[in-house]
Structure 1
Amino acid sequence: MSEKKTDLTYETRNCWDVYAAPKDRKAMDALAARYLEFLSACKTERETIEYVCAKVQKAGFKDDLGHDMVWRDMRGKTMFLARRGKRPLSAGVRLVGAHADTPRLDLKQHPLYEECGVGLAKTHYYGGIRKHQWFARPLALHGVVVRADGQAVVVNIGEDAGDPVFTVLDLLPHLAYGQMEKTVTNAFEAEKLNIVFGHEPRAKKAAKGKDGAASDEKNRVKGRVLDMLNAKYGLVEEDLFSAELQIVPAGAARPVGLDGSLIGGYGQDDRICVFAALEALLAAKAPEHTQVVLFWDKEEIGSEGATGAKSLFFEYCMDDLARAWEPGARLSEIFLNTRAVSADVHGALDPDYQDVHEKLNSSLLGHGPVFCKFTGHRGKVGANDAHAEYVGFLRNLLNRAGIPWQMAELGRVDLGGGGTVAKYLAAYGMDIIDFGPGVLSMHSPFEISSKADLYATTLAYREFLQS
């Protein structure tokens, strides 16, 4: 007869207590150091997928379904990874899916202009930003431009110590009384998120057209910006129509706090899950079930397009994998037997804004990755609501492994809400739940996570992939 459990209540465990042993702290510090490097280098979805591709190829993954460890990418923005398991594909796979995109400012198609002696670039924000957080801070320009000759030119300005940076101008307080009386939504207009690109005009002797006539004196600053882009990258203004140029916070991710126990940096929603899932996959050997890890684009704008979770890229990959590894296996059988995790971050309880949370059902930073049984908003609209049987399987899996975890919702019922890729995978009939570390200052240019949560999340994903 099994021993009766005497403690009938449940409390979360602090990861710092669970992983107090020197060997755990050493492993935690090493993981955090790698993560800081990753977060500093990968500020766009293209840069993230390029990083992942280099890592998996070094680990032996091939772009060839004849191998047991395979990878495929879609437009350099989405990636499919698989490692063959001992059981056939028809027994289902263990799937972890995260997204590689993050809120930012994109340059418009006609970006460059000048006003008041300043060269500027117009932007259109991508994803759920709070506009006021992007003013008066150093910014960098990342992306790719495809020239008329078809050559793709990679742009990265603002990250090296010798680089100039960019910024969005803010209004001085002496003239901002009217602005301060408005709501935050009305005080900060999207059309004023314009990037400072330059100030020095072309020399007057260079301000003549090909026919020798004087060019427009009002556009000398814009002209010099174009001169510099042409000299450095061979670009002309028309090339900006075939460009994906993103404005992101400049500078490296950093440890936060006197003890360095927190990690601060841009894009942790959801690149912390991308990193943890990649580390887990590379460390998980000889799986029972085939392991699949997916990194998507476009989650922050509804998972649309050819590289988002709504696309058929995942289905195409699984169909080709079945043809190569188990001819005759039906996709419906594979999907219905699959267990999946939507690896996405959770809004941790903010010490300064506790009133927007329902504290009994909130997550704490440092207490491990968070299961979110459903997302959606106001009455669970747009949610994947994970089945009780699957939640039971997962909690027992992590309890047996001694990995801390917690269960929470995102904010108070009438205030909170959000969405992830979970509902798009649930459409295939597979079991899936949202599961990832808590983050503070989410969607800001400087998000905060816990080193201990990163460590526990990586172990949890590895345990799931090996289950």
Structure 2
Amino acid sequence: MRTELNQGLIDFLKSSPTPFHATRSLAQRLEAAGYQRLDERETWRSESGGRFYITRNDSSIIAVKLGKRPLADSGMRLVGAHTDSPCLRVKPHPELHQQGFWQLGVEVYGGALLAPWFDRDLSLAGRVTYRAAGKVESQLIDFKRPVAVIPNLAIHLNRDANKGWEINPQLELPPILAQLAAGEQREFRDLLAEQLSREHGITADAVLDYELSFYDTQSAAVIGLEDDFLSGARLDNLLSCYAGLQALLDSSNEESCVLVCTDHEEVGSRSACGADGPMLEQVLQRLMPAGDAYVRSIQRSLMVSADNAHGLHPNYLDKHDGNHGPLLNGGPVIKINSNQRYATNSETAGFFRHLCLTEEVPVQSFVTRSDMGCGSTIGPISASHLGIRTVDIGVPTFAMHSIRELAGSHDLAHLVKVLTAFYGCAELI
């Protein structure tokens, strides 16, 4: 099971270089399992046993499996994650022509570790909006092959490089796409029109706009002398999206279950399709009974907010509280913060720990050092919007927000096992 799950995640990561592609990949897997797509602009008809999903902005997705019991009596079991990861986004007018090199201006999306982006074989993917035959359409593209690189400056020209230096995103991050003849210049939108034709057979009258990101073409892999680790891009947080999907598909049909994978978490979630927007609440209001029964349903529900945790790094032990350093391959981590950066409380943590003990899944705890700041997740956001009980958990990882992150090769299976049990749990707290 572990090997199969890890390979499934590697395949999912490869097909999901952007939130748009991740959402499409999740939708394809749901449809293959019999889930029906619902359009938010149309009237919905939902009934016991129904399986369906909703997307918004092509980058967020909610999948729902309605159980047999009335929602006001049983509530829902929700797993939440996010589809976005820190990256380099292409600017609207990105063309840079310097000394015969064609480069693109980029904007840093989210809290990215910038140094690892140098000297990587980069490709480009995302969504392009274009006009064809008088109609405005959008399409996903993925160049797949390496088309760009951000070369480092040689150590001979930057003697202080190994002492650390502040990277200037405006000046030092524009990737190089090509070397041009003297006086030659290229238009980025022409390149996108060519890609639309090559990848989809689309003849665009004009490329109107785009949301495109660079990504590392190196595939994720199981590594280590004893295959202990899983290395790859976008583990934060596509690992949780994939684990939630597998758990949903593997769970029984008795209980009502929801998988929520939203965009824009890395930049605060404040968007129409982010966790701090109305998407989840609007979907639940359309599916659940109204009025008093809706509140009863919410109060009988529980959300597991799944987002990666900081594993105890052997080279940086002083960055952790001595009693709360989660180990890779030590099982999922319950994340706790007294200032509500995580939504966990003693009851929700106790319930999740009980599930892990019942399923014989190892479980750990994380609290950040008292003299350090703490990140956050969609957990507190969803809890405050819905009034739903929530526990924040995640798989321990190294190098979070790097272009390549590291997790334990056993932990995906641990997470899928406990989330599957959660989806099938007849009694919540």
**TM-score, normalization by structure 2:** 0.89
Deviation at 1:179, TM superposition (A): 5.8
User: Would the aligned equivalents of 1:106 and 1:244 in 2 still touch at CA under 8 Å?
Assistant: yes
SS in 1 for 2:244: helix
Deviations 1:401-426 (A, max 9, x none): 2121111124x222241010011121
Distance 1:113 1:187 in 2: 19
The answer to which of 380-389 and 120-129 deviates more is 380-389
Q: Which has the larger share of strand?
A: 2
Corresponding letter in the other structure for 1:298? H
Deviation at 1:73, TM superposition (A): 0.9
Corresponding letter in the other structure for 1:333? R
Deviation at 1:111, TM superposition (A): 0.6
Corresponding letter in the other structure for 2:379? A
1:447 maps to 2:405 = yes
User: Which of 325, 329, 336 does residue 299 from structure 2 map onto?
Assistant: 336
Deviations 1:36-64 (A, max 9, x none): 11112212111111111111111111235
Q: Quote the residue 2:82 is aligned against.
A: 99
User: Would the aligned equivalents of 2:107 and 2:169 in 1 still touch at CA under 8 Å?
Assistant: no
Can you give the 5+ residue segments of structure 2 that lack an aligned partner in the other structure? 39-44
Distance 2:100 2:190 in 1: 17
Distance 1:262 1:199, change over 3 A: same
User: Would the aligned equivalents of 1:107 and 1:124 in 2 still touch at CA under 8 Å?
Assistant: yes
Q: Quote the residue 2:279 is aligned against.
A: 313
Deviation at 1:238, TM superposition (A): 11
Q: Quote the residue 1:358 is aligned against.
A: 321
Q: What does residue range 133-212 of structure 1 map to in structure 2 within 5 Å?
A: 133-149=116-132, 150-157=136-143, 159=144, 163-177=145-159, 184=165, 186-201=166-181
Q: Quote the residue 2:61 is aligned against.
A: 79
Distance 2:108 2:204 in 1: 21
Corresponding letter in the other structure for 2:37? D
The answer to which of 191-200 and 306-315 deviates more is 191-200
Corresponding letter in the other structure for 2:269? S
Q: Which has the larger share of helix?
A: 1
Deviation at 1:154, TM superposition (A): 3.0
Distance 1:108 1:239, change over 3 A: farther
Distance 1:226 1:82 in 2: 38
**TM-score, normalization by structure 1:** 0.82
**Alignment coverage as a number of residue pairs:** 408
Deviation at 1:296, TM superposition (A): 0.5
User: Which of 234, 237, 262 does residue 270 from structure 1 map onto?
Assistant: 237
Deviation at 1:127, TM superposition (A): 0.7
SS in 2 for 1:434: strand
Distance 1:135 1:434, change over 3 A: same
SS in 1 for 2:131: coil
Distance 1:230 1:66, change over 3 A: closer
User: Would the aligned equivalents of 1:345 and 1:438 in 2 still touch at CA under 8 Å?
Assistant: yes
SS in 1 for 2:89: strand
Q: Quote the residue 1:60 is aligned against.
A: 34
Distance 1:230 1:291, change over 3 A: closer
* CA-based RMSD: 2.3
User: Which of 421, 436, 458 does residue 378 from structure 2 map onto?
Assistant: 421
Deviation at 1:335, TM superposition (A): 1.7
Corresponding letter in the other structure for 1:96? V
Distance 2:151 2:93 in 1: 20
Deviation at 1:233, TM superposition (A): 3.2
User: Would the aligned equivalents of 2:121 and 2:146 in 1 still touch at CA under 8 Å?
Assistant: no
Deviations 1:242-300 (A, max 9, x none): 1011111112111111222311110000010000000000000123x311110100000
Distance 1:141 1:462 in 2: 35
Q: What does residue range 383-462 of structure 1 map to in structure 2 within 5 Å?
A: 383-410=341-368, 412-427=369-384, 428-462=386-420
Deviation at 1:230, TM superposition (A): 4.2
Q: Quote the residue 2:95 is aligned against.
A: 112
Q: Quote the residue 1:286 is aligned against.
A: 253
Q: Quote the residue 1:222 is aligned against.
A: 186
Deviations 1:70-120 (A, max 9, x none): 211112111111111232111321110000111100001111120011000
Distance 1:258 1:122 in 2: 40
Corresponding letter in the other structure for 2:177? F
Deviations 1:190-241 (A, max 9, x none): 442101111133xxxxxxxxxxxxxxx74x1425x66554444369999666
Distance 1:330 1:112 in 2: 56
Q: Quote the residue 2:41 is aligned against.
A: none
SS in 2 for 1:460: helix
Distance 2:16 2:126 in 1: 11
Distance 1:180 1:435, change over 3 A: closer
User: Would the aligned equivalents of 2:82 and 2:241 in 1 still touch at CA under 8 Å?
Assistant: yes
Distance 1:403 1:230, change over 3 A: closer
Q: Quote the residue 2:219 is aligned against.
A: 252
Deviation at 1:332, TM superposition (A): 2.2
Distance 1:198 1:239 in 2: 23
Corresponding letter in the other structure for 1:338? S
1:298 maps to 2:264 = yes
User: Would the aligned equivalents of 1:437 and 1:454 in 2 still touch at CA under 8 Å?
Assistant: yes
Distance 1:237 1:441 in 2: 40
Corresponding letter in the other structure for 1:152? S
SS in 2 for 1:316: helix
SS in 2 for 1:389: helix
Distance 1:255 1:386 in 2: 31
Corresponding letter in the other structure for 1:168? I
Can you give the 5+ residue segments of structure 1 that lack an aligned partner in the other structure? 1-26, 202-216, 375-379
Distance 1:390 1:153 in 2: 41
Larger radius of gyration: 1
1:88 maps to 2:70 = yes
Deviation at 1:187, TM superposition (A): 4.1
User: Which of 123, 127, 134 does residue 110 from structure 2 map onto?
Assistant: 127
Deviation at 1:169, TM superposition (A): 2.5
